[in-house]
Amino acid sequence: MGNEIACQSCDLLVSVAATKHGESASCPRCGCFLTKRHDDALRRVLAFASIGLMFLVFASSYPFLSLSSSGVESAITLIQAPFALWSKGMPEVAVLVTAFIIVIPATVLMMMLTLCILINRGRYHSSLLPLAKGIFMGQKWSMVEVFLIAVIVAMVKIAAMATVTIGISFWAYAAFAICFTLATSNLDRYQCWQKIELLAIK
């Protein structure tokens, strides 16, 4: 199997055979990032994905935010947020929010777990290719970080009108966002395809 990778920006073929653990490779022509080698990448992905899914369960089980104004207090959970949007006559927004902040990120992490487990078994499986494709496609549609930033901005604005209390679900979701980012960043595209191809030719 070759050790060359095509730059996604300028299509230049670059040899990455000399990269060692912890080293990254960039395109010499345009400077575009190509790959970063981690010998223990699969173990990192397994750990971060597993912990991330546990944090998501916590984030879905407890109050996310509570507001108090003029003696009236209300709390909402992460799961209740899409239903609140639906009840306000915004079903399309509710579906998109549910997909981008819960369904797609959770699905990507579960696919990562499955992919890593199958690769660690050392045998080729027909589901490896669709799993890898689904993971790299799903990453583009996940908006975990965007949601957190939007919530923080909204809290700053609401704080002038009401007392905002951050629930345990918010911190759990923030931890989930960190784990999601670490899991996706450790699953290098080039090395992933390389491992799958090596299993396929065994």
- Give the pLDDT score at 173: 95
Is 2's pLDDT higher than 60?
A: no
CATH topology of domain 39-200: Butyryl-CoA Dehydrogenase, subunit A; domain 3 (1.20.140)
pTM here is 0.84
**pLDDT digit string (tens) for 105-146?**
999 999 999 999 999 888 888 899 999 999 999 998 999 999
Per the model's pLDDT, the better-predicted residue between 145 and 16 turns out to be 145
The CA–CA distances, whole Å, from 143 to 65, 83, 146 equal 19, 19, 5
d(CA 155, CA 66): 10
**97-101 contacts: CB < 8 A, separation 24 or more?**
97/147, 99/141, 100/141, 100/142, 100/143, 100/146, 100/147, 101/143, 101/144, 101/147
d(CA 108, CA 168): 24
Is the distance from CB of 170 to CB of 63 less than 8 angstroms?
no
Question: Does an H or E element contain 15, and which?
Answer: strand 13-15
CA 91 to chain centre: 24
Ramachandran region, residue 167 (left: φ > 0; alpha: ψ -120 to 50; beta: rest): beta
The CA–CA distances, whole Å, from 14 to 8, 23, 173, 185 equal 11, 15, 39, 21
- Give the pLDDT score at 78: 87
**pLDDT digit string (tens) for 151-173?**
888 888 887 777 888 889 999 99
Is 77's pLDDT higher than 70?
A: yes
Question: Does an H or E element contain 55, and which?
Answer: helix 41-59
d(CA 144, CA 194): 28
- Give the pLDDT score at 95: 93
Q: Where are the domains of the chain?
A: 1-37, 39-200
Is 191's pLDDT higher than 70?
A: yes
Mean pLDDT to the nearest integer, 163-191: 90
